[in-house]
Amino acid sequence: MPAETTPSADSREGGLRKVARVVLLDPADRILLLHGHEPDDPADDWWFTPGGGLEGAETREEAALRELAEETGITDVELGPVLWRRRCSFPFAGRRWDQDEWYYLARTTQTVGVATGLTELERRSVAGARWWTCRELTRAHETVYPTRLAGLLQRLLDEGPPARPVTLDTEIV
């Protein structure tokens, strides 16, 4: 699962780490995903949306934009509505992560960036980024989080953002 920094006490609610993620689309409706892996096992890998835990008193919107800038270097974005909400639990870097994730739609024309704000753990566990078409994502054999992202993206592209955030199934890895 995605590399993250250690959560602060105020980023947790009911034992869950509060997380903001970004479904970043370019003008061709490609989605940007990061390629992550276990820090000590690059073969244990997956793709995931940019994002991470809230810091201090920041809002989820502020966290989404900050994390996107830190992880991709992309700052020219139009942040849209929350598309999906998901609770998940997964092992990563020797511990279990329990998260309440909100996925924001964002659009950009800036398709090249440089990740300059990665934490030490992220530097050891993020191998890069790639823009994916919905078709490529549908045909992918790689592990992608959230699961069913290809179908979720296709629905978003076909129907537009939902009137209110859709609650995705809880994922426990």
Reported as a single tens digit per residue, the pLDDT across 123-150 is 666 878 899 999 999 999 999 999 999 9
Residue 95 burial (10 A CB sphere; 0-12, 13-18, 19+): exposed
pLDDT band at 4 (very low <50, low <70, confident <90, very high): very low
Considering the entire predicted model, what is its pTM?
Answer: 0.86
What is the Cα–Cα distance from 98 to 91, expressed in whole angstroms? 9
